[in-house]
Amino acid sequence: MELPKSVTQKVFLKLKVRHKESIVSSGILLHFDISVDFYAVNMNNKVIRFKQIESLLSRKIKDVYRDRLEHKLDSLSYRLFDRTLVITLEGIITSPEKLLQENDRLDLAKQVREAIDRIIHPQIQDIIEEVLDVKVVDYLSDTTIDNDITGAIAIFEFKPKDI
């Protein structure tokens, strides 16, 4: 069975770096089953699967909303970049905020949301630092009450290694 050219180029480019001698000199065609997982590496060189990180972040953030506000979030999603974590929290608006919004008190609902965010965001920041083993240097967020969504960006630097 021959692998498609695009796949073999990617595989062999990777293999040439690691096994250049054996591929070039032997002329043997190798077949591979490839499984790809994404990993994040913390400063202690512990490898943690990204799905495990997402699961842990989700559980801990949902716990904060449940324990502190007696509110269940609908969903959380993440995008991890070099020094940035982007988080989307859906189903963020609590019952009192919805009540205020439904009774034409949107300004008051926004004030309540700002107060909640001021209390909850430092806890989310702590969770990110703990789970990813990083130092969050900036945490930006905004909530749209009408859409029931919060978007947050955590910008971090890695903690220096202990010597």
User: How much is the pLDDT for 51?
Assistant: 78
Residue 18 sits in the same domain as residue 73: no
What is the extent of the structural domain holding 21? 1-36
Rounded to an integer, what is the distance from CA 22 to the centroid of its chain?
39
Who contacts 110 (Cβ-Cβ below 8 Å, separation ≥6)?
Answer: 145
What's the burial of 65, exposed, middle or buried (CB within 10 Å: 0-12/13-18/19+)?
Answer: buried
pTM over 0.85: no
- How many domains would you assign to the chain? 2
State the Cα–Cα distance between residues 40 and 48, nearest whole angstrom: 6
Residue 153 sits in the same domain as residue 102: yes
In the structure encoding, which two tokens stand for residue 42, read together? 């913390």
Residue 105 sits in the same domain as residue 116: yes
**Does residue 10 sit within a domain?**
yes
For 40-49, the CB contacts below 8 A with 24+ separation are 40/80, 40/132, 42/132, 42/133, 42/134, 43/133, 43/134, 43/158, 43/159, 43/160, 43/161, 44/133, 44/161
User: How much is the pLDDT for 20?
Assistant: 35
State the Cα–Cα distance between residues 120 and 114, nearest whole angstrom: 10
**Does residue 142 sit within a domain?**
yes
Please give the chain's pLDDT, 163 residues, in tens.
343 444 333 333 333 333 333 334 345 444 443 333 444 444 444 445 677 888 899 999 999 999 999 999 999 999 888 889 999 999 999 999 999 999 999 999 999 999 999 999 999 999 999 998 899 999 999 999 999 999 999 999 865 444 3
**Does residue 47 sit within a domain?**
yes
Who contacts 52 (Cβ-Cβ below 8 Å, separation ≥6)?
Answer: none
Secondary-structure percent of the chain, ordered helix, strand, coil, rounded to 5: 45, 25, 30
- Assign residue 160 a region (left: φ > 0; alpha: ψ between -120 and 50; beta: otherwise): beta
